[in-house]
Structure 1
């Protein structure tokens, strides 16, 4: 039985992919499927993924077209009632999915742990909120918390009822190469009444890996797209009467 679909895009992650997949196989929670979308890797990533392929782990190989396209393909193939995302250079604690899967709620946000390549803890980010919070109340501190920590935009540490995505035709924008995950989740926040926040950080986010957007050159960033994302944030907050002077200054 598939309750939770895990989407994992892969592009040239041969150094990390085994640890990522093994951390999913070792979950206490067992009702999952893993959909791996190899985005035209030119290293050994695809062959490493293929050795895990079975009835629970599906591996798709496509031509390189970016992480958003890969995630969209994974979403379209997913069968679970809920979906979550784990990147191929990250890994998760054995109790990660059992904490994140809370089927009485539409959207769950947990924290994450930033680690080095040697698995040394660099920083822990947890949401300021805890428990079930109404969207109107979330919006009161949304912009500052996002600017301070990025937690509302991370693809990590989130679980979504899939019908929220499918019923509203939500997808990742393939034209965005930075903060595409924040743009994706902004579309979802607009459709929610509340969010469950967890005081938990069992997602291990690797800092300083190859192909990371963190080190992206300014020349590769479409700043018009980044402005559009901030405009969407403004509209979202205005719709919830939470775009005051502090938000204007941040904007």
Structure 2
């Protein structure tokens, strides 16, 4: 998968970039893959297995360019991704600090597209980000200077560290969106831990007062968590749902978001994963 990811970057129509390969396994195989390309734009950086947030922080620290884009090793980019994002940055006002794109959910084992995740919003997306992670990290390009303002990815998060970062970033800049699927986000077995995902969701609630202290936003989170728990066969999901309705009995301000979430391809894939169908 790493070879596939690297080739998708090296084949970009925009070629003024560096590629930082952050290797948490510190494996000889990864070194050999990097060396085999014989391309001076590739930089191999070993990491001491401290997790994905630490890897991304190390990449941000070592990067030298004006913009930073992320690519997990099991995902890949369409050939014009970087070109379209750089063009968008040149056209947008300076208060736009991040651009994300639509992406496909690509089921590796059966080599088929399960659906497309389209951008939900652009501009001031903070209220949207409070309820859902509307981005996909492998789609993102961000001005490097934005990290100086919001700080690093928080390495204490068990999951959702990317959502936490983009939520914090949406406080300080506008987001641009390209409604074209420029990334294949890979779905494969062994990829997802439901327990770690739940821990990340609860951590989001704990860390962000605008979630924790807003009955409308908190009820939305608890309702989502409760529904996902029930699909997993965890009856304690009913407690989360009950608490959600106690906070917001009519689900005021949440109805359209709930309908959208239930129809969203990401929710479908999460449910299929939780019940062991993917």
TM-score in terms of structure 1 length: 0.75
RMSD after superposition:
2.5
Compared CA separation, residues 143 and 217, structure 1 to 2 (3 A):
closer
Deviations 1:3-42 (A, max 9, x none): xxxxxxxxxxxxx111110111100011111100110255
Structure 1 CA distance for aligned equivalents of residues 161 and 38 of structure 2? 28
Structure 1 CA distance for aligned equivalents of residues 41 and 28 of structure 2? 24
Compared CA separation, residues 140 and 64, structure 1 to 2 (3 A):
closer
Which residue pairs with 1:198 in the alignment?
A: 178
Compared CA separation, residues 236 and 191, structure 1 to 2 (3 A):
farther
Structure 2 CA distance for aligned equivalents of residues 61 and 140 of structure 1? 37
Structure 2 CA distance for aligned equivalents of residues 141 and 60 of structure 1? 35
Are the aligned partners of 1:68 and 1:180 in contact in 2 as well (CA < 8 Å)? yes
Deviations 1:102-153 (A, max 9, x none): 3334211211111011431111001123xx52x1xx3454445x2xxx423x
Question: Which has more radius of gyration?
Answer: 2
Tell me how far 1:186 sits from its aligned partner: 1.7
SS of 1:32's partner is: coil
Structure 1 CA distance for aligned equivalents of residues 38 and 169 of structure 2? 31
Deviates more, 1:157-166 or 1:50-59: 50-59
Are the aligned partners of 1:186 and 1:232 in contact in 2 as well (CA < 8 Å)? no
Q: How many pairs were matched up?
A: 214
Structure 2 CA distance for aligned equivalents of residues 248 and 37 of structure 1? 36
Which residue pairs with 2:155 in the alignment?
A: 174
Which residue pairs with 1:156 in the alignment?
A: 138
Tell me how far 1:64 sits from its aligned partner: 1.4
More helix by share: 2
Structure 2 CA distance for aligned equivalents of residues 81 and 139 of structure 1? 24
Tell me how far 1:80 sits from its aligned partner: 0.7
The higher-RCO structure (CA 8 Å, 6+ apart) is: 1
**Aligned ranges 1:212-223 → 2 under 5 Å:** 212=191, 214=192, 216=193, 218=195, 223=199
Structure 2 CA distance for aligned equivalents of residues 230 and 46 of structure 1? 39
Stretches of structure 2 that go unaligned for 5 or more consecutive residues are 91-95, 222-278
Compared CA separation, residues 91 and 128, structure 1 to 2 (3 A):
same
Tell me how far 1:163 sits from its aligned partner: 0.5
Stretches of structure 1 that go unaligned for 5 or more consecutive residues are 1-15
1:23 aligns to 2:15 (yes or no): no
